[in-house]
Structure 1
Amino acid sequence: MITRSTSFVEPATDPVLLRTLAAAGLPATGRFLSKAGWVSRVWVGDEYVVRLINDQRHRDAYRHEATVVNLLTGSEVPHARILAHGDGPDGPWYASERLPGRTLYEAWPAADSPTRQAMIESLGSVLRALHRIPVPADLLPPWLADAIAGKKPWAAFHPPVVSAALQLVEDARRLPGHDARLLADVAGWIQERLALFAADEPVLVHGDIHGSNLMVDQGRVTGLIDFAEALAQPADVELDNLLHWCARAREFPPVPGERGLDETTLTEVPGWLHGAYPELFEREHLRERLRFYDMYGELAQYAHHPQPDEREAAHDRIARLLSGHNHLDGLVW
């Protein structure tokens, strides 16, 4: 997303955008900025935003997002109203209203400390409202449901699904040259902790909260965006993602090839969030649960990442987790 004052905008001339606007029943008037994304092409207009899937592993993402956004109708969760979505000759597309402001990623560097605190406290209120939305207990992104069922490869490495953790161990055991001793230790580690989740009730979790998926304006969150990974899981799955972002923010850039925010500017975020949404932090054995979610993510990378160096880095982080350490060590709330 961008601010309305951005000067690098042009009339709608891209034939793909024109076809998509026509399919959505929207006029091809006004100015648009073309932006890249992780799995989508994006055109930001004066009044609405158009997205087009460019990663076919996520073909069903917009259908899933539309399902989730419809759950938010009439709620207190700020979000972009869906205008239309469909599947055309250029691929799946999604058109929504444009929210005021810009992404937190864009706003954060120049914001002073009181404004940053206000934005995070606003986020706490938004997440509390999100986690109160009635949700089907089996809600999962289609690509994730297919991956868990073994129908398709894993297209991403988050968010965690507690019930699939041991399956990831078995997936990793099928890798040539896998570390059998490490995986045996991991399987035991997971089995010892599954009881921590036995009484959980799933809530609606965004699944990918970070600076680029939050719209802010005048010190408040004006909307959550990109619900393609939303699912029904325990609320502290959301906290796990947020704390991961705080600890390793450089790994959360808005588009490939760029760099995320500086982690040193996010050190107060967990404390501010705790003050605004304390019940998110009140789960018994919270840190051990968060370590479990982290283990899930590292296992997904170790078992399924296409790049050997990324799999090796995940292996090393798994070993560190088994020793009782991870990115939570430096976080205070």
Structure 2
Amino acid sequence: MDDRSAPSVDEPLLRRTLAAVGLPATGRFFPKGGWASRAWVGDEYVVRLSNGQARDAYGHEAEVVALLAGSDVPHARHIAHGAGPDGSWYVSERLPGRTLHDVWPHADVHTRHTIVESLGAALRALHRVPVPAQLTPPWLADALAGGSWPAYHPPVVSATLEQVEAARRSPGHDARLLGDVAVWIRERLPLFTADDPVLVHGDLHGSNVMVDHGRVTGLIDFAEALAQPADAELDTILRWCARAWEFPPTPCGRGLDASGLVEVPGWLRGAYPELFDREHLRTRLNFYDIYVELAIYAHHPDIEVRNMAHDRIARLLLGHNHLDGLTLLSATPDTASG
């Protein structure tokens, strides 16, 4: 990032937020967009202002970051958070480097491999952090209780059947399909009964990983972090690898080329093998996938998106989804049973 091209602190929203924190309104900040917030990246701090969709997302993030204190998880130190006339805000330290999304297209194969190895180490450290078993973002708790759905991931194993019932209450639903889904879920729920929940980031893709000189300097944006089985982390990661175009950094941006992410699952398995070495892994990943698609089918406001979720659910019941293209998984003995 070339700070000489960045604007001075002349944005009123930014100035008011810095004043609320007690930080001087000096220096240069680079504006950055996002899906759920506006951000300004300065020399020392990053200031984010929420769009208000997710209740207490920043309070939850601050709680999660506090859990990381003293751990080996690379992350941005929390400075302050609060709410004001402009909405909720969160201030953290600035991490060195740029997002993985920005770095990846220009990195050579060796650098990409090194980045993924570093990511594997960061994830292993994250999943070892002691976590309250019921840790759930407030906005997600609201959604599970019947409120609005600002996001459709991460998966919540215990709430999967609830999404079938929610879909049954939606107009024009496919009753036969949902009946088959309910049976499919009940048959596979026992796979999760012995799991110990760990701290899962829940939204790990290129825009939420900071990289500098071929290593991960921080995992960012813990607004969706929760306690779930460790391999639930793979749901978003592998979805990103297979359908990278669905993960642009901003609503008007472009995602990466999925062909450039083909090696990522294999590299990640080499760096963090225990994340993948689960019995019935493919079936478990399909279970996480059906949760996400059910939530979309039940709650998304766009009927065309709901129809796409319907078709993906139907394919998944036949054992097919975006994971088919990942050779690392398609070769496992569990594939046919998923």
Shorter-chain TM-score range: over 0.9
* Number of the residue aligned with 2:89: 93
SS at match of 1:11: coil
Quick one: distance in 1 between partners of 2:300 and 2:4? 39
- Which residue of 229, 251, 260 maps to 2:224? 229
AA aligned opposite 1:140: T
1:272 to 233, 255, 267: 267
Tell me the amino acid that sits aligned with residue 192 of structure 1. Answer: E
Q: For 1:22 and 1:165, locate their aligned partners in 2 and report how far apart those are by CA, in whole Å.
A: 44
Instruction: Kindly state the Cα deviation for residue 59 of structure 1 after the two structures are TM-superposed.
Output: 3.2
> What is the CA–CA distance in structure 2 between the aligned matches of 1:112 and 1:320, rounded to whole Å?
36
Match of 1:16 among 8, 13, 17: 13
Residue 112 of structure 2, aligned match among 110, 113, 116: 116
Displacement after TM superposition at 1:89 (Å): 1.0
Q: Deviations over 1:249-276 (max 9, x none)?
A: 1100100011110000000000000000
TM-score when normalising by structure 1:
0.97
What is residue 296 of structure 1 aligned with on the other side? 291
Give the alignment partner of residue 204 of structure 1, picking from 199, 206, 216: 199
Identify the residue that residue 145 of structure 2 maps to in structure 1. Answer: 149
Q: Secondary structure at the match of 2:89?
A: strand
Q: Given the alignment of the two structures, is residue 183 of structure 1 paired with residue 168 of structure 2, yes or no?
A: no
Matched, 1:136 2:136: no
SS of the residue corresponding to residue 92 of structure 1 reads strand
Q: Return the alpha-carbon distance in structure 1 between the equivalents of residues 252 and 200 of structure 2.
A: 27
CA distance in 2 between counterparts of 1:181 and 1:7 reads 60
Q: Secondary structure, in 3 states, of the residue corresponding to 1:184?
A: helix
**Contact 1:270–1:332 (8 Å) recurs in 2:** no
Match of 1:45 among 42, 59, 80: 42
User: Does 1:159 pair with 2:180?
Assistant: no
Q: Structure 1 stretches of 5 or more lacking a match?
A: none
Mapped partners of 2:202, 2:115: distance in 1 = 19
Q: Tell me the amino acid that sits aligned with residue 214 of structure 2.
A: G
What CA deviation, in whole Å up to 9, does each residue of 1:44-96 have, x standing for no partner? 11111000011x22131000000000000111001000111111111110000
Please report how far the alpha carbon of residue 332 of structure 1 lies from its aligned counterpart in structure 2 after TM superposition.
2.5
What's the counterpart of residue 170 of structure 1?
165
CA distance in 1, matches of 2:284, 2:176: 23
1:305 corresponding residue in structure 2: 300
Distance 2:14 2:74 in 1: 26
Aligned to 1:28: 25
User: Structure 2: how far apart are the matches of 1:304 and 1:216?
Assistant: 35
Query: Partners in 1 of 2:203 and 2:5 — Cα distance?
Result: 28
CA distance in 2 between partners of 1:285 and 1:45 (Å): 45
| Separation of aligned partners in 2, 1:73 and 1:109 | 32
Percent identity of equivalent pairs: 71
In 2, the alpha carbon distance for the partners of 1:60 and 1:236 equals 26
Q: 2:137–2:226: 8 Å Cα contact kept in structure 1?
A: yes
Whether the 8 Å contact between 2:199 and 2:225 is mirrored in structure 1 is yes
Q: Verify the 8 A CA contact 1:252 1:259 in the aligned structure 2.
A: yes
Asked if 1 retains the 8 angstrom alpha-carbon contact of 2:3 and 2:28, the reply is no
Matches of 1:57 and 1:216, distance apart in 2: 28
Report if the CA contact (8 A) 1:52-1:91 is conserved.
yes
Aligned counterpart for 2:65 among listed residues 69, 82, 88: 69
Residue 6 and residue 113 in structure 1: after superposition, are their counterparts in 2 closer, same or farther (change >3 A)? farther
Q: Secondary structure at the match of 2:53?
A: helix
| 1:7, distance to aligned residue in structure 2 (A) | 4.5
SS in 1 for 2:76: coil
1:241 equivalenced with 2:236 (yes/no): yes
1:57 to 53, 59, 64: 53
> 1:8 Cα shift?
3.3
Residues 53 and 59 in structure 1, CA contact (< 8 A), matched pair in contact too: no
Q: CA RMSD in A?
A: 0.8
Q: What amino acid does structure 2 have at the position aligned with 1:270?
A: P
TM-score, with length taken from structure 2:
0.96
CA distance in 2, matches of 1:245, 1:287: 16
